[in-house]
Amino acid sequence: MTLAGAAPNPLREGSVTLRSADPCSIVVFGATGDLTHRKLLPALHRLARERLLHPMTAIVGFGRKDRTDEAFRADALEAMGAQSPPEDWNRFAQSLHYQAGSFEDPEAFRALGAALARSEAARGVPANRLYYFAAPPATYETILKNLRVADLVRPPSGGESWSRVVIEKPFGHDLASARELNRRVHEVFDESQVFRIDHYLGKETVQNILVLRLANGIFEPLWNNRYLDHVQITVAESVGVEGRAAYYERSGVIRDMLQNHMIQLLTLTAMEPPARFEADAVRDEKVKVLRALRPLEPGEIPTRTVRAQYAKGAAGGVAVPGYREEAGVSADSETETYLAVRFEIDNWRWAGVPFYLRSGKRLPKRATEIAIVFKQPPHALFRSAGCSDLQANVLRLRIQPDEGITFSFGSKSPGQALHIDPVRMDFYYLTSFGADPPEAYERLLLDCNLGDSTLFARRDEVELAWEIVDGIAGVWQSDRKPPLLVYPAGTWGPTEADALPGREGRAWYRL
């Protein structure tokens, strides 16, 4: 690998780059993998096009396969397709470099350090390094050890330069392994240098939860158990395991979705307003929610949770196999591909307001949504006029795919008689702002560069989430587990899941 100094790009006056972003070397471990090519390189490319990366930023792929810089650039261009004019791509390509080496070889890490030092000297920039773990989780401990052996990490008080690490999920597979991984990470990095990434937190609508509540006086006074009836959080996937059976057989939906994405959405919805919009102030409030989340007792889990697995069915009008028929899946697998759970939060704001969460694979559509359901007013006035079937007001936050917000309320329909029908006010990012919101990885990678950890999970947050998940998973794997239900691919899960809110006179909202 030869890291040449990149020519400075012309910068817009007042850009984020001029004000904030540091020149740095972004080292991606697992540079030839799917995540790097599908998400990381395209996101970095777009940041560079928008002048949000410092022009002296170098992006260094580290992987086992032999590659030249030119081959790495060609692979990146093929993966991204025609996403920019040639002149933009050519500028970005000059920042891409490749270092071959084994994760187990300390000498490969020393060679990486020497190459980075030469590049930094040639560019005349500080030794700022952002290490991104895009490799399999089983390699994390080895990479951490060799970063320390090769002396590639500076302490937080390291002077003019900084070192940071970005770690992808899954962060452990249970509480014990998460604690052990945290211990290993902290042998090399201080907590202030650690960025545990969950790409859901980079989505615009997720970030907009707090803005919606706190920047609009009509919502925050109503965001409590006096006015809200319940909350629903749905993370639906239309795909199956897509060749990831080896991973999914170990994780299932409870570790793949509940422990990270869904609990993150719950904490952002339920947290108290932070005193300041700063990383630890926000994360302190999220941790308080997790501490207030009422643990499910083993005897409650059969009635408060639903576990299921998809059978053969149809997706988009095409026949698809059941989970046990997928390549790499055991014919008698007990792995859950669908879950539903009812949580309660024991604090003054949320006491008595149930949170219903559900997620599954091979559902009818890909969609993530938070539904804030308001209490219904007394109906005596309208019953006397023949209107007895009034619908609750619902604020629906669409996380994906069509990011936006919908608020439904009752309105008199035209005519002489009194009929009240639900109507909607819709906000779409695309139509309101003239462009789709940026990809989640763009925002998160920029935040890593800027050292802003607001949208990243802290150690205590991760471990508390695992405590919640372990309590459910422990029963699901015992002789007290609820039955593994079956639902046809292309449906909204087992009919038994409807009873979770149905027993309390509620129902899942259709997406």
The per-residue pLDDT for range 334-392, each reduced to its tens digit, is: 999 999 999 999 999 999 999 999 999 999 999 999 999 999 877 655 555 556 667 78
Known catalytic residues?
261
What single letter denotes the amino acid at residue 265?
L
Could you identify the residue written with the tokens 């490799």? 135
pTM of the model: 0.90
Q: Give start-end residues of each CATH 3.40.50.720 domain in the chain.
A: 16-168
DSSP assignments along 351-408, one per residue:
TT--EEEEEESS-SS-EEEEEEEEPPPP-HHHHTTT---PPPPEEEEEEESS-EEEEE
Sign of the dihedral defined by the CA atoms of residues 18, 19, 24, 27, in that order:
negative
> Are 46 and 439 in contact, with CB atoms under 8 Å apart?
yes
Confidence of residue 22 (pLDDT cuts 50, 70, 90): confident
Residue 141: C-alpha distances to residues 189, 250, 343 (Å): 12, 19, 34
Q: Give start-end residues of each CATH 3.30.360.10 domain in the chain.
A: 201-502
What single letter denotes the amino acid at residue 263?
I
4 is written with which tokens?
């040449």
Range 17-43 average pLDDT: 84
pLDDT single digits (tens) 410-453: 666 665 556 666 777 787 776 766 666 678 889 899 999 999 99
CATH number assigned to the domain with residue range 201-502, chosen from the 4 options 3.10.180.10, 3.30.360.10, 3.40.50.300, 3.40.50.2300? 3.30.360.10
Label residues 206-244 b or e (16+ Cβ within 10 Å = b).
Answer: bbbbbebbeeeeeeeeebeeeebbbbbbbbbbbebbeee
Domain 16-168: give its CATH superfamily: NAD(P)-binding Rossmann-like Domain (3.40.50.720)
Label residues 291-324 b or e (16+ Cβ within 10 Å = b).
Answer: ebbeebeeeebeebbbbbbbbebebeeeebbbbb
Confidence of residue 5 (pLDDT cuts 50, 70, 90): very low
Range 309-329 average pLDDT: 93
pLDDT single digits (tens) 45-88: 989 888 888 989 999 999 998 889 999 998 888 877 756 677 77
CA angle, 49 as apex, 436 and 77 as ends, to 5°? Answer: 95
Going through 223-381 in order, the beta strands assigned E by DSSP cover: 228-236, 305-311, 313-315, 318-320, 338-343, 355-360, 367-374
CA distance 334 to 327: 15
